[in-house]
């Protein structure tokens, strides 16, 4: 019985089990975990003194206070010594992030994602793979490196760096961290000077938050404690219960329930009112977050803007603050730039228009009733009894970042935060929730701002080599169907050319000859040489010529920080990677060293020296190299008041030994040296004295663009005509859910997770479902001019009538097949979360799915 | 149809004709090798739809719910395949789950489990499905709990600790 193989027991780690500190491989929250590894046959006992947990398991653990050690927190791996080992990965009780050993459904199954040839993770890439005709053959690293280096060099020498293109991760956690981001940066930026480099989830080398950074306010300016201290928490385009789960459950929920009063007393003024926090959720959907917040008993407001209108909503709320004089004049004058404020006042606040006029227009554009706009602004900014400033924490994420004119949307919210002084004070902050963790250490990007759109560049026939590193653009790129089609055509054109004789199939045998033939082919066919570097054979890899197997989380050390506190910790290595897989930084170093040698042999020392110094033997070597490169001249011996001027992710002085010593406590970046003692110290909030990251330390204002009814997004606006709306009657948005992380690269292989989300799905309102005859589980073919896909329908009141919401990156069909090619010209960032589609009912459900998959509403907590 | 097919497979397990002796043994024995306890937990005629009945299984330290659902369930017992039993302890952090509106919900962090789908955790913080308890119903309508599938939170073995 059971839909997957259950366990009725798990072995305890023995007292002498090897133990390690790590952090969850997945989301922005960065929960701490402990790893225990011990050889098969050496399990510990149930008595407290007989196991490594030091806990008594002769009777059950106590709810909440006990240790969670569940079925999915244990697995068996094999090391290179040929022996089986047990791995237990449990929440760290001493983490300041996942308080009490809390954990999410994703992190709770970290252990099951470890590689084993005896479990489903056997599909991890083991060896470098070379496409030979229509199959992949395993080859040694030296040959893979030789081929990649020779093709790179050939393209660079003949066409220059602009014909080299790449998509790379820029995050922390699994598949990232300082070591790996530096490895790519050193090779692609310092070495190859590639400006056609895009980021894992977007087309260019852009920040998702230039709208706030350009104001001098970094997006990660708060600390997790602020969620426990706030009077009012705003979640804007952030479904935190599902996408920052433990941050919501362990920090926001206790505050909503009034359980953080004692902590507030330490920070609040003696007579300052305090109570349970209120929450404002701004999201078109009735997300799980909305109803989870309501279930706590807290006061909750829910604003449901029309898709792609959020910056007008933020401006309208700011206008309310302005009109009702809920700002602090002293703060504005002392800490913000009142010269640029004039522009903000004119364009964003539209102070020359009547208040009535602006609010009426805002209601028309956003669909949010004027009274709600006014009430939300009041909740954010009203003085408390006694005249005390409200403590408001404003957090936004992909609903904002992947919005229409996303630069202005981020800017408008940042400016609402500055106008209401929601930054720098305990219980405040205005920034992003985060998607991934961070852990960014790269030399400067060699391209312009805003950067070129790499996806469109490559699909338009530009670029000879396309290197996809630790990401999966066949699911994640916008306008995906066209992207796949064009990349597929170009890679296939090269593949056909590689047969030396048109009438036969044989390809060159030596790597040098093959590289020469590839270079000839990309010239003659305008084909594309595609290299995919990843831990699994991704959808993108199906068109690759060369596949490079990478090590994952736990198979190499990495340093990363979370988003809610910029908390830097070491994610230790506790096992071997599969087969010949190697850490990303190591792969880049091998290719860098080979390029150095090839250019040295050519007598081109000016080029070869750009690759010098990649002779790293360990992750710690990379960290030291990055520190020297990035921070040699940085003065970090400054007080907290100067922290805003430092690299928010700066780690000068940090070593693995230091991080091992501080363990789960970690250190909040930017890491500084205490001005008196010289000891390394962390930085709680970035702007405790409101000195921002601008030349004069003042927050800089920006006047947002005038509203144009989405006309500048021509690919969406084309549907916004009476005929268009008739042919494509639904708005279409997309995003994550609780169960699967991003492309589900791991979860698709775990039976219990895959059985929960076996198919791509769209949420549909009961009204629309009834009108079209859909029941939950029925299959729908969804299309527009950009692309199409088949999705299971999920009937829920989450979405309003006339809107669909799709799981974004399902392996059986990405929502991005339908997304538009629009990007914000200010940032090159897409509006993934809004386009139009038509819906057609297919013949019903898949019976096996109906039998084993729950279609109960995920936003109904009773 | 699929339910009927599985029922036949279970019957064949019961008849001892399964080819794999290890699996056959696992179906009858706890992790420590002893037989799963067979515990009478109620009678069909006493069960009201959506009114859960508490019991303990496999020992007194492991609370569980027996409930008749409004529709057929995966591994459901009874003529309508709608009688199921699950551990009453959330697999996230061990709080007692409540049965509300045809699903189990945890009051601590709101994990939700679908009793008609093998205890699938379709929302929330729990990683593991709610452990399901296999039921057998005899001719008199007596419902027996016969075996646990999945690990009850807070324990390292479903088998009662031997003292």
Nearest residue on chain B to A88, judged by CA atoms? B156
| CB spacing of A2 vs B121 below 8 angstroms | no
Buried b (16+ CB within 10 A) or exposed e, A39-64: eeeebbebeeebbbbebebeebbebe
Asked if B29 and B109 sit in the same domain, the reply is no
Q: Using a CB–CB cutoff of 8 Å, tell me whether A295 touches chain B.
A: yes
Q: DSSP code of A686?
A: S
List pLDDT tens digits, range B105-152: 999 999 999 999 999 999 999 999 999 999 999 999 999 999 999 999
Question: Does residue B30 register a pLDDT over 90?
Answer: yes
Asked if B61 and B113 sit in the same domain, the reply is yes
Question: Does residue B12 register a pLDDT over 60?
Answer: no
Query: What angle (nearest 5°) sits at the alpha carbon of residue A777, between those of residues A771 and A779?
Result: 75
Closest chain B C-alpha to A31 CA, distance in angstroms: 13
Token digits of residue A785 = 């001019």
Mark the ranges of chain A whose per-residue pLDDT is less than 50: none
Q: Which of A6, A111, A845 is the best substitution to test chain B (most B C-beta atoms within 10 A)?
A: A6
CA A113/CA A780 separation, integer angstroms: 32
Closest chain B C-alpha to A430 CA, distance in angstroms: 26
Average pLDDT over residues B36-62: 97
Asked if B46 and B118 sit in the same domain, the reply is yes
Q: Which residues of chain A make contact with B157, given a CB cutoff of 8 A?
A: 8-10
pLDDT band, very low/low/confident/very high, at B160 (cuts 50, 70, 90)? confident
Asked if B31 and B53 sit in the same domain, the reply is no
pLDDT band, very low/low/confident/very high, at B15 (cuts 50, 70, 90)? very low
| CB spacing of A2 vs B149 below 8 angstroms | yes
| CB spacing of B61 vs A59 below 8 angstroms | yes
Residue B155 domain-assigned? no
Q: Using a CB–CB cutoff of 8 Å, tell me whether A289 touches chain B.
A: no
Question: Does residue B18 register a pLDDT over 50?
Answer: no
Residue B87 domain-assigned? yes
Report pLDDT for B8: 35
Average pLDDT over residues B83-102: 97
What are the backbone angles phi and psi of residue A201, rounded to the nearest 5°?
A: -120, 15
Report pLDDT for A80: 87
Q: Which of A48, A53, A60, A88 is the best substitution to test chain B (most B C-beta atoms within 10 A)?
A: A60
pLDDT band, very low/low/confident/very high, at B20 (cuts 50, 70, 90)? low
- Which residue is catalytic, options B55, B73, B83, B92? B92
Radius of gyration of chain B (CA): 15
Asked if B45 and B110 sit in the same domain, the reply is yes
| CB spacing of A854 vs B2 below 8 angstroms | no
Within chain A, what is the greatest distance between any pair of CA atoms?
88
Residue B135 domain-assigned? yes
Answer whether the bond into residue B58 is a cis peptide, omega within 30°.
yes
Using a 10 angstrom Cβ sphere, with 0-12 exposed, 13-18 middle and 19 or more buried, the burial of residue A603 is exposed
CA atoms within 13 A on the CB side of A116: 19
Asked if B12 and B52 sit in the same domain, the reply is no
Report pLDDT for B106: 98
Report pLDDT for B24: 53
Q: Are strands A730-735 and A761-764 parallel, antiparallel or unpaired?
A: unpaired
Residue B144 domain-assigned? yes
Nearest residue on chain A to B129, judged by CA atoms? A752
- Which residue is catalytic, options B109, B154, B157, B161? B109
ipTM strictly over 0.90?
Answer: yes
Report pLDDT for B22: 53
What are the backbone angles phi and psi of residue A835, rounded to the nearest 5°?
A: -155, -175
* Cα–Cα distances in angstroms (integers) from residue A281 to residues A27, A293, A639, in the given order: 20, 9, 36
CA A203/CA A192 separation, integer angstroms: 19
Which residues in chain A (819-848) have CB-CB distances under 8 A to chain B? 847-848
Q: Which residues of chain B make contact with A107, given a CB cutoff of 8 A?
A: 127
Report pLDDT for A704: 98
List pLDDT tens digits, range A517-533: 999 999 999 999 999 99
Residue B118 domain-assigned? yes
* Cα–Cα distances in angstroms (integers) from residue B158 to residues A70, A71, A74, in the given order: 12, 11, 15
Asked if B113 and B60 sit in the same domain, the reply is yes
Q: Which residues of chain B make contact with A10, given a CB cutoff of 8 A?
A: 151, 156-157
Nearest residue on chain B to A11, judged by CA atoms? B156
User: Which residues face A130 on adjacent strands?
Assistant: A137, A546
| CB spacing of B154 vs A852 below 8 angstroms | no
Q: Which residues of chain A make contact with B150, given a CB cutoff of 8 A?
A: 2, 6-8, 71
Element (H, E) at A763: strand A761-764
Element (H, E) at B137: strand B132-137
Q: Using a CB–CB cutoff of 8 Å, tell me whether A5 touches chain B.
A: no
Which residue ranges form the domains of chain A, and what is each CATH number? 18-119 (2.60.40.4210), 128-199+454-537+548-686 (3.40.50.740), 221-432 (3.40.228.10), 714-852 (2.40.40.20)
Q: At what angle do helices A584-601 and A619-631 cross, to 10 degrees?
A: 70
- Where in the sequence is the domain holding B30, given as residue range(s)? 1-35
| CB spacing of B121 vs A105 below 8 angstroms | yes
Give Cβ neighbours of residue A167 (< 8 Å, ≥ 6 apart): A197, A198, A199, A200, A454, A466, A467, A468, A469, A471, A473
- Name the residue among A131, A154, A777, A22 with its Cα closest to residue A512: A154
Nearest residue on chain A to B163, judged by CA atoms? A58
Active site residue B109: yes
| CB spacing of B124 vs A103 below 8 angstroms | no
| CB spacing of A59 vs B89 below 8 angstroms | no
Q: Using a CB–CB cutoff of 8 Å, tell me whether A851 touches chain B.
A: yes
Domains: count for chain B: 2
Token digits of residue A444 = 């400067």
CA B122/CA B75 separation, integer angstroms: 18
List pLDDT tens digits, range A726-770: 999 999 999 999 999 999 999 999 999 999 999 999 999 999 999
Contacts 24+ apart (CB under 8 A), A50-57: A50/A12, A50/A14, A50/A15, A51/A12, A51/A13, A51/A14, A51/A15, A52/A12, A52/A13, A52/A14, A52/A15, A52/A16, A52/A17, A52/A19, A53/A12, A53/A13, A53/A90, A57/A12, A57/B155, A57/B156
Asked if B101 and B68 sit in the same domain, the reply is yes
| CB spacing of B125 vs A61 below 8 angstroms | no
Asked if B79 and B104 sit in the same domain, the reply is yes
Report pLDDT for B26: 59
Report pLDDT for B21: 52
Residue B7 domain-assigned? yes
Asked if B17 and B62 sit in the same domain, the reply is no
Residue B45 domain-assigned? yes
How many inter-chain contacts (A to B, CB under 8 Å) are there?
A: 172
User: Which residues face B84 on adjacent strands?
Assistant: B67
CA A503/CA A488 separation, integer angstroms: 22
Asked if B72 and B29 sit in the same domain, the reply is no
User: Are the CB atoms for A114 and A75 separated by under 8 Å?
Assistant: yes
Q: DSSP code of A138?
A: E
Nearest residue on chain B to A291, judged by CA atoms? B110
Count of beta carbons in the 10 Å neighbourhood of residue A673 = 16
Give the CATH number, domain containing residue B113.
2.102.10.10
Radius of gyration of chain A (CA): 27
Asked if B95 and B49 sit in the same domain, the reply is yes
Q: Which residues of chain B make contact with A862, given a CB cutoff of 8 A?
A: 100-101, 105
List pLDDT tens digits, range A266-318: 999 999 999 999 999 999 999 999 999 999 999 999 999 999 999 999 999 99
Q: Which of B8, B63, B128 is the best substitution to test chain A (most A C-beta atoms within 10 A)?
A: B128
- Name the residue among A774, A767, A759 with its Cα closest to residue A854: A759
| CB spacing of A847 vs B2 below 8 angstroms | yes
Residues across chain B? 163
Which residues in chain A (182-241) have CB-CB distances under 8 A to chain B? 241
Report pLDDT for A501: 82
Report pLDDT for B27: 67
Residue B130 domain-assigned? yes
Active site residue B81: no
């Amino acid at each position: 019985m059971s839909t997957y193989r259950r366990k009725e027991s798990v072995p305890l780690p023995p007292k002498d089990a090897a133990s390690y500190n790590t952090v969850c491989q997945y989301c922005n929250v960065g929960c701490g975990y402990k790893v225990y590894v011990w050889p098969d046959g050496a399990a510990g006992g149930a008595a407290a003194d007989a196991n490594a947990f030091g806990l008594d398991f002769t009777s059950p653990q106590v709810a909440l206070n006990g240790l969670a050690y569940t079925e999915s927190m244990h697995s068996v791996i094999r090391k290179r010594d040929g022996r089986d080992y047990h791995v237990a990965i449990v929440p760290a009780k001493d983490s300041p992030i996942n308080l009490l050993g809390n954990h999410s459904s994703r992190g709770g199954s970290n252990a099951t994602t470890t590689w084993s040839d005896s479990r489903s993770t056997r599909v991890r890439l083991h060896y470098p793979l070379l496409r030979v005709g229509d199959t992949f053959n395993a080859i040694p690293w030296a040959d893979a490196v030789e081929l990649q280096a020779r093709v790179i060099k050939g393209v660079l020498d003949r066409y220059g760096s602009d014909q080299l293109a790449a998509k790379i991760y820029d995050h922390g956690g699994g598949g990232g961290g300082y070591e790996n981001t530096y490895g790519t940066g050193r090779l692609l930026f310092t070495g190859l000077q590639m400006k056609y480099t895009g980021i894992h989830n977007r087309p260019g080398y852009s920040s998702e938050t230039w709208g706030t950074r350009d104001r001098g306010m970094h997006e990660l300016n708060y600390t997790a404690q602020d969620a426990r201290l706030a009077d009012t928490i705003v979640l804007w385009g952030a479904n935190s219960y599902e996408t920052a789960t433990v941050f919501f459950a362990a920090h926001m929920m206790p505050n909503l329930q009034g359980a953080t009063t004692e902590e507030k007393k330490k920070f609040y003024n003696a007579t300052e009112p305090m109570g349970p926090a209120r929450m404002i959720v701004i999201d078109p959907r009735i997300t799980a977050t909305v109803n989870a917040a309501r279930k706590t008993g807290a006061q909750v407001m829910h604003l449901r803007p029309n898709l792609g209108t959020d910056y007008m909503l933020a401006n309208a709320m700011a206008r309310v603050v302005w009109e009702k004089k809920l700002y602090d004049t002293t703060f504005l004058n002392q800490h913000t730039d009142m010269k640029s404020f004039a522009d903000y006042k004119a364009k964003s606040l539209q102070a020359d228009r009547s208040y009535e006029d602006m609010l009426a227009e805002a209601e028309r554009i956003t669909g949010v009733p004027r009274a709600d706009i006014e009430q939300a602004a009041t909740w954010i900014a009203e003085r408390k009894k006694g005249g005390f400033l409200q403590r408001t924490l404003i957090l936004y994420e992909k609903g904002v970042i992947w919005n229409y004119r996303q630069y202005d949307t981020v800017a408008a919210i940042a400016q609402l935060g500055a106008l209401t002084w929601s930054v720098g004070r305990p219980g405040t902050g205005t920034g992003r929730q985060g998607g991934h963790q961070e852990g960014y250490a790269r030399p400067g990007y060699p391209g312009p701002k805003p950067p070129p759109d790499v996806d469109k560049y490559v699909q338009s026939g530009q670029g000879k080599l396309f290197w996809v590193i630790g990401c999966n653009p066949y699911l994640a790129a916008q306008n995906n169907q066209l992207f796949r089609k064009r990349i597929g055509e170009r890679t296939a054109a090269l593949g056909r050319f590689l047969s030396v004789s048109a009438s036969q199939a044989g390809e060159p045998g030596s790597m040098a000859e093959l590289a020469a033939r590839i270079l000839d082919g990309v010239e003659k066919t305008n084909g594309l040489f595609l290299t995919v570097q990843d831990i699994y054979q991704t959808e993108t890899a199906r068109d690759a010529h060369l596949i490079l197997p990478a090590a994952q989380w736990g198979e190499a050390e990495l340093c990363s920080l979370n988003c809610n506190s910029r908390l830097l910790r070491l994610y230790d290595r506790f096992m071997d990677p599969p087969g010949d897989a190697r850490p990303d930084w190591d792969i880049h170093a091998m290719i860098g060293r080979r390029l150095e040698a090839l250019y040295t042999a050519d007598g081109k020392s000016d080029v070869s020296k750009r690759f010098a110094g990649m002779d790293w033997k360990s992750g710690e070597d990379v960290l030291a190299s990055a520190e020297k490169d990035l921070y040699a001249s940085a003065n970090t011996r400054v007080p907290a008041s100067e922290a805003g001027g430092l690299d928010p992710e700066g780690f000068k002085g940090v070593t693995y030994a230091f991080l091992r010593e501080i363990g789960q406590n970690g250190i909040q970046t930017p890491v500084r040296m205490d001005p008196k003692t010289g000891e390394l110290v962390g930085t709680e909030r970035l702007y405790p004295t409101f000195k921002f990251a601008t030349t004069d330390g003042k927050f800089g204002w920006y006047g947002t663009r005038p509203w144009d009814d989405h006309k500048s997004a021509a690919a969406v606006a084309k549907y916004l005509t009476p005929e268009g709306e008739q042919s494509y009657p639904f708005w279409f948005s997309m995003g994550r859910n609780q169960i699967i992380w991003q492309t589900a690269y791991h979860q698709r292989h775990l039976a219990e997770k895959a059985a929960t989300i076996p198919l791509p799905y769209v949420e549909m309102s009961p009204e629309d479902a009834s009108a079209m005859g859909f029941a939950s589980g029925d299959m729908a073919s969804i299309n527009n001019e950009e692309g199409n896909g088949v999705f299971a329908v999920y009937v829920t009141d989450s979405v309003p009538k006339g809107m669909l919401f799709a799981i974004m990156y399902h392996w059986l069909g990405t929502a991005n097949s339908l997304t538009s090619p629009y990007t914000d010209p200010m940032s090159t960032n897409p509006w993934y979360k809004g386009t139009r589609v038509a819906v057609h009912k297919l013949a019903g459900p898949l019976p096996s799915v109906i039998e084993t998959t729950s279609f109960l509403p995920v936003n109904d907590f009773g | 149809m699929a339910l009927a097919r599985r029922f036949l497979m279970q019957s064949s397990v019961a008849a001892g004709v399964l080819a794999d002796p290890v699996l056959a043994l696992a179906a009858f024995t706890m992790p420590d090798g002893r037989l799963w306890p067979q515990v009478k937990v109620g009678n069909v005629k006493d069960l009201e739809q959506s009114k859960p009945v508490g019991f303990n299984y496999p020992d007194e330290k492991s609370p569980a719910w027996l409930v008749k659902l409004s529709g057929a369930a995966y591994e459901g017992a009874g003529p309508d395949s709608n009688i199921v039993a699950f551990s009453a302890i959330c697999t996230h952090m061990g709080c007692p789950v409540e049965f509300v509106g045809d699903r189990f919900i945890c009051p601590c962090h709101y994990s939700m489990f679908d009793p008609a789908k093998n205890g699938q955790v379709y929302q929330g913080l729990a990683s593991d499905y709610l452990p399901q308890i296999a039921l057998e119903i005899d001719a008199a309508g007596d419902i027996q709990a016969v075996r646990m599938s999945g690990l009850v939170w807070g324990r390292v073995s479903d088998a009662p600790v031997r003292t």
